[in-house]
């Protein structure tokens, strides 16, 4: 970039444009709107209208399908374009081979069908593709016979079956969040072969092995399955940015429509670089630990959690992403909507 000519004080006073609210509004380079937000929703297998609080995620709930539908309506009314579903699979249905992931009558498929039947194209529905919500061991993939390794190619086959199961139920976008090699290409090929040419793939390309997933794992009940096991053999190392770019470029080449960086706020350099290198939109996932930390400090009166949440999301947009999954989506959209 050419170095622009820089004026000198007092001819240049940068405070001039900051001096009033109308002027700050005109000078702002990045803005946050409800259209930028994707609302994650935890789904319960219960019948009837059931809503459960999640202790580690203030203002976030688990909903039965019946309770979920009015929340989707609320999201639509607030201008939120998409929800991301996370089914809380009963422990009894979790197995080493994750067969429930392929069940057309699974909780996930029922939720997808219910939302699409009621709202059609008024709201997008996305769902994670990974086996962690269905495995008795809590890993995103299938294990070797000795239980020591997460198998790549066997897992990719299972992920393709899972993705097709969701596509047949009518999901708009699948989000492979498993970090196996080659899964985007395999899913894309299967979608083409079955005629799901418009089903989007939102690739969790740069998903890091992070300490920030704790509240999510307790919310979906995968923490107890996983025990102390690490996902470091498939999720990325927090120190690596070249590798994150490599993942994103591969995923785009394999047919990803959107690439995602996760977690978000500690990885803004990754967002900026991926955005520069890829021609597809970049999304970020403000994960459960990020949200919980802001809310916890707010509860203690140490920060204004609403203000920090808005700041965190705006800064993610500034870093280069066009969509953000956040547990604060409803809360934030209400504030933005005035
Ligand atoms: C795994 C998955 C994770 C999250 C969503 N899907 C992480 C993990 O358990 O490794 C975390 C989301 C969050 O913390 O909000 N497929």
Q: With a 6 A CB cut-off, is 130 part of the ligand 1 pocket?
A: yes
Residue owning the nearest CA to atom 12 of ligand 1: 287
Number of domains within the chain: 1
102 assigned to some structural domain: yes
Rounded-to-integer distance, Cα 275 and Cα 292, Å: 27
| Residue among 132, 162, 264 whose CB has most ligand 1 atoms within 8 A, to mutate | 132
The answer for residues whose C-beta is within 8 angstroms of residue 238's C-beta and 6 or more apart is 208, 209, 210, 266
pLDDT interval class at 278 (50, 70, 90): very high
- pLDDT of 223 reads 83
Rounded-to-integer distance, Cα 62 and Cα 330, Å: 14
The answer for residues whose C-beta is within 8 angstroms of residue 157's C-beta and 6 or more apart is 186
Q: How many CB atoms lie within 10 A of CB 132?
A: 23
Structure tokens at 64: 């039965």
- Catalytic residue status for 317: no
Task: List pLDDT tens digits, range 95-143.
Answer: 999 999 999 999 999 999 999 999 999 999 999 999 999 999 999 999 9
Instruction: Tell me how far the alpha carbon of residue 224 lies from the centroid of ligand 1, in angstroms.
Output: 14
Residue owning the nearest CA to atom 1 of ligand 1: 177
**Cα dihedral 205, 162, 128, 134 sign:** negative
Q: Give the residue among 175, 101, 176 at the shortest CA–CA distance from 134.
A: 101
**CB-neighbour burial class of residue 281 (10 A; exposed 0-12, middle 13-18, buried 19+):** middle
- Catalytic residue status for 116: no
Q: With a 6 A CB cut-off, is 216 part of the ligand 1 pocket?
A: yes
166 assigned to some structural domain: yes
- pLDDT of 134 reads 97
16 assigned to some structural domain: no
Asked whether the beta carbons of 37 and 329 are under 8 A apart, the reply is yes
- pLDDT of 215 reads 96
Q: What angle do CA 22, 334, 75 make, to 5 degrees?
A: 130
Instruction: Tell me how far the alpha carbon of residue 217 lies from the centroid of ligand 1, in angstroms.
Output: 7
Average pLDDT over residues 218-238: 91
CATH code, 195: 3.20.20.70
Asked whether the beta carbons of 280 and 303 are under 8 A apart, the reply is no
Q: With a 6 A CB cut-off, is 213 part of the ligand 1 pocket?
A: yes
33 assigned to some structural domain: no
Residue owning the nearest CA to atom 7 of ligand 1: 213
252 assigned to some structural domain: yes
Average pLDDT over residues 78-97: 97
- pLDDT of 35 reads 98
| Beta pairing partners, 259 | 203, 282
Asked whether the beta carbons of 75 and 117 are under 8 A apart, the reply is no
- pLDDT of 338 reads 66
36 assigned to some structural domain: no
DSSP designation for 281: -
Atom of ligand 1 nearest to the CA of 178: 16
Q: What angle do CA 111, 116, 122 make, to 5 degrees?
A: 130
Rounded-to-integer distance, Cα 244 and Cα 54, Å: 31
Rounded-to-integer distance, Cα 323 and Cα 338, Å: 20
Asked whether the beta carbons of 318 and 264 are under 8 A apart, the reply is no
Average pLDDT over residues 303-313: 98
Residue owning the nearest CA to atom 14 of ligand 1: 213
Instruction: Tell me how far the alpha carbon of residue 216 lies from the centroid of ligand 1, in angstroms.
Output: 6
Asked whether the beta carbons of 74 and 122 are under 8 A apart, the reply is no
Residue owning the nearest CA to atom 2 of ligand 1: 177
Which one from 231, 262, 273, 317 is the annotated catalytic residue?
Answer: 262
Task: List pLDDT tens digits, range 138-176.
Answer: 999 999 999 999 999 999 999 999 999 999 999 999 999
* Secondary structure (3-state) at 95: strand
168 assigned to some structural domain: yes
Residue owning the nearest CA to atom 3 of ligand 1: 213
Instruction: Tell me how far the alpha carbon of residue 181 lies from the centroid of ligand 1, in angstroms.
Output: 18
Instruction: Tell me how far the alpha carbon of residue 259 lies from the centroid of ligand 1, in angstroms.
Output: 16
Task: List pLDDT tens digits, range 10-34.
Answer: 999 999 999 999 999 999 999 999 9
Domain extent for 56: 41-337
Instruction: Tell me how far the alpha carbon of residue 318 lies from the centroid of ligand 1, in angstroms.
Output: 24
Residue 190 has pLDDT above 70, yes or no: yes
CA distances from 105 to 41, 151, 177, 233, 291 (A): 19, 27, 22, 32, 32
Rounded-to-integer distance, Cα 53 and Cα 63, Å: 9
Q: Give the residue among 175, 188, 190 at the shortest CA–CA distance from 129.
A: 175
């Amino acid at each position: 970039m050419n170095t622009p000519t820089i004026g000198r004080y007092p001819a240049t006073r940068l405070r001039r444009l900051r001096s009033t609210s109308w002027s700050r509004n005109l000078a702002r380079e990045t803005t946050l709107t409800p259209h930028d937000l994707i609302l994650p929703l935890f789904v319960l297998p219960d019948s009837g209208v059931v809503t459960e609080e999640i202790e580690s995620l203030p203002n976030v709930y688990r909903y039965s399908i019946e309770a979920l539908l009015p929340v989707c309506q609320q999201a639509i009314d607030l201008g939120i374009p998409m929800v991301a579903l996370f089914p809380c699979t009963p422990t009894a249905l979790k197995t080493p081979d994750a067969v429930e992931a392929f069940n057309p009558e699974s909780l996930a498929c029922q939720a997808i069908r219910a939302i699409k039947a009621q709202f059609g194209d008024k709201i997008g529905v996305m769902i994670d593709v990974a086996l962690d919500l269905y495995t008795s061991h809590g890993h995103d993939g299938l294990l070797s016979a000795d239980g020591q390794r997460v198998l790549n190619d066997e897992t990719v086959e299972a992920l393709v079956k899972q993705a097709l199961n969701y596509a047949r139920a009518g999901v708009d976008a699948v989000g492979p969040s498993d970090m196996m090699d080659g899964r985007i290409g395999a899913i894309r090929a299967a979608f083409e072969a079955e005629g799901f040419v418009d089903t989007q793939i939102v690739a969790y390309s740069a998903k890091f092995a992070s300490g920030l997933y704790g509240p999510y794992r307790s919310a979906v009940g995968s923490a107890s399955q996983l025990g102390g096991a690490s996902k470091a053999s498939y999720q990325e190392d927090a120190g690596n940015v070249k590798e994150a770019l490599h993942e994103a470029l591969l995923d785009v080449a394999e047919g990803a429509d959107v690439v995602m960086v996760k977690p978000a706020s500690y990885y803004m350099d990754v967002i900026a670089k991926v955005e520069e290198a890829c021609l597809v939109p970049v999304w970020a996932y403000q994960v459960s630990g990020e949200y919980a930390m802001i809310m916890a400090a707010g509860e203690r009166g140490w920060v204004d959690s609403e203000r920090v949440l808005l700041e965190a999301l705006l800064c993610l947009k500034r870093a280069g992403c066009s969509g953000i999954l956040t547990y604060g989506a409803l809360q934030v959209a209400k504030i933005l909507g005035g």
